[in-house]
């Protein structure tokens, strides 16, 4: 057992911190207020070669494990960029993991290098308004034609669809009533996000304004048979493959944001003087911050444990879900405490902690809710009866 980061992981921390230092508080506050995809940041990541970290070497990627990816995403999130910076690249770096694993060599060569070079962005279209967390209930339909498929339906919360060129799309190819389980009969496509067939409408939301989320109305989207990933009907299985890594990374990102919040709160508590002494001299200010530090560290250990199991090819469902759960809770609580430490100024945008608190809320909701994580642990780890 080794609790030390490797030399490679330390180099990732240094390299990412270097990029993030060019994008400070004013940059991200402006993005939070006015939106607009952080393209210059995205291009800086591409130039540094960071968009290919998890892609195979044969297409120009670095093929690093999830442990290293978690270090990278935590470092990004523990900057002023928080979830805006993490999500701007999250979709593109880790969304297409299923292509890297289940795509043909031809598909990998066609699709992955443009992402690594920062020339193309991809959105991830799974969630639907009438299905929610019950992915087996999705109704977006892909029907066979002579040379491919035609897709009709509706997605919701599709992030980056305003700027994406491509969409990784889950659609039903076999009617639900002909399948044994809801999750059967679904297929995964990597399609052009053709604006003539996809009406993309942005959702006005609580935070992370620069990384848009959308409703997508799909009307006769034509997709070539070459753009189907793997076999028809196995799409959910392919998505499942990337779910554990994504949970680990979402946990790591929340932890990064929480650490940034605690850092800001501690600095403020040292400087702000009330009743003739720094507020940080009061234990009621110190203890919540110290406790959050401990919770964040413990959650990070769970992320690293889950990543280490995943990278060793072992099953890690329980640990990955626990990492997502613990990281998101610890991150959110740390941000809330950072706001309270700042008193009235915690509510002011110029101190940034309210922005961190709004952004870290996402990690508790997506890609899976905290309740569904607890359902999974209750059933699969504790052996309790399925509750839904
Ligand atoms: C900012 C943001 C970005 C997103 N980006 C994307 C994206 O790029 N692509 C994409 O496909 N999706 C995306 N999502 C969608 C996200 O994955 C879903 O919002 C999430 O999975 C929850 O689904 P839902 O909103 O439909 O909630 P619902 O399924 O409607 O659930 C609502 C509430 O009920 C609870 N609940 C439901 N059933 C049970 C049960 N059996 N037991 C206990 N509790 C239950 C849930 O836990 C939740 O709290 C994004 C969401 C957000 C907020």
Give the model's pLDDT for residue 93.
81
Q: Is residue 371 within 6 Å of ligand 1 at its C-beta?
A: yes
**What mean pLDDT comes out for the span 314-330?**
98
Residue 142's SS3 state is strand
Give the model's pLDDT for residue 350.
97
Residue to mutate, 366, 384, 385, 387, ligand 1, most ligand atoms under 8 Å from C-beta: 366
Query: Can you give the pTM of this predicted structure?
Result: 0.97
Give the model's pLDDT for residue 117.
95
Residue 1 has pLDDT above 90, yes or no: no
Spatial CB neighbours of 308, under 8 Å, sequence gap ≥ 6: 67
User: How confident is the prediction for the chain on average, in pLDDT?
Assistant: 96
**CA angle in degrees (0–180, nearest 5) for 245-246-249:** 90
Give the model's pLDDT for residue 242.
87
Q: Residue 370 C-alpha to ligand 1 middle, in angstroms?
A: 10
Residue 240 has pLDDT above 90, yes or no: no
**What mean pLDDT comes out for the span 307-328?**
97
Phi and psi angles of residue 148, each rounded to the nearest 5 degrees, phi first = 170, -130
Q: Is residue 388 within 6 Å of ligand 1 at its C-beta?
A: yes
**What mean pLDDT comes out for the span 295-322?**
97
Q: Is residue 158 within 6 Å of ligand 1 at its C-beta?
A: yes
**What mean pLDDT comes out for the span 322-327?**
98
**CA angle in degrees (0–180, nearest 5) for 336-338-342:** 120
Residue 91 has pLDDT above 90, yes or no: no
- Selection from 135, 235, 216 nearest residue 182 by Cα: 135
**What mean pLDDT comes out for the span 40-48?**
97
Q: Is residue 368 within 6 Å of ligand 1 at its C-beta?
A: yes
Residue 95 has pLDDT above 90, yes or no: no
Residue 92 has pLDDT above 90, yes or no: no
């Amino acid at each position: 057992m080794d609790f030390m980061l490797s030399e490679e992981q330390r180099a990732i921390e240094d390299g990412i911190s270097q990029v993030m230092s060019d994008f400070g508080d004013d940059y991200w506050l402006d993005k939070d207020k006015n939106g607009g995809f952080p393209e210059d940041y995205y291009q800086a990541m591409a130039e540094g070669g960071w968009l290919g970290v998890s892609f195979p070497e044969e297409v120009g990627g670095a093929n690093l494990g999830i442990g290293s990816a978690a270090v990278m995403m935590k470092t990004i999130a523990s900057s002023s960029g928080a979830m805006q910076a993490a999500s701007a690249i999250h979709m593109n770096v880790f969304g297409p993991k299923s292509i890297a694993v289940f795509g043909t060599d031809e598909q990998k060569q066609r699709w992955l290098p443009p992402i690594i070079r920062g020339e193309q962005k991809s959105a991830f279209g799974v969630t639907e308004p009438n299905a929610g967390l019950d992915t087996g209930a999705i109704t977006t339909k892909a029907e066979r034609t002579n040379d491919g498929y035609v897709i009709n339906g509706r997605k919701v919360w599709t992030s980056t669809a305003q700027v994406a060129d491509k969409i990784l799309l889950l659609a039903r190819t076999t009617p639900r009533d002909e399948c044994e389980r809801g999750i059967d009969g679904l297929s995964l496509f990597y399609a052009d996000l053709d604006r003539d067939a996809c009406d993309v409408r942005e959702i006005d939301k609580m935070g992370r304004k620069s990384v848009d989320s959308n409703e997508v109305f799909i009307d006769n989207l034509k997709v070539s048979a070459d753009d189907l990933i793997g076999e028809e009907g196995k799409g959910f299985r392919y998505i499942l493959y990337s779910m554990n890594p994504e949970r680990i990374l979402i946990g790591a990102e929340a932890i990064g944001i929480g650490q940034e919040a605690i850092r800001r709160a501690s600095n403020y508590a040292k400087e702000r003087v009330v009743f003739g002494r720094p507020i940080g001299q009061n234990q009621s200010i110190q203890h919540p911050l110290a406790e959050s530090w401990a919770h964040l560290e413990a959650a990070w250990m769970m992320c690293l444990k889950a990543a280490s199991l995943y990278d060793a090819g072992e099953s890690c469902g329980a640990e990955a879900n626990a990492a997502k759960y613990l990281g998101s809770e610890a991150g959110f609580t740390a941000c809330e405490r950072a706001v309270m430490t700042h008193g009235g100024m915690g509510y002011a945008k110029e101190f940034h902690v309210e922005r961190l608190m709004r952004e870290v809320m996402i990690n508790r909701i997506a890609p899976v809710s905290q309740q569904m994580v607890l359902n999974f642990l209750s059933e699969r780890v504790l052996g309790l009866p399925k509750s839904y």
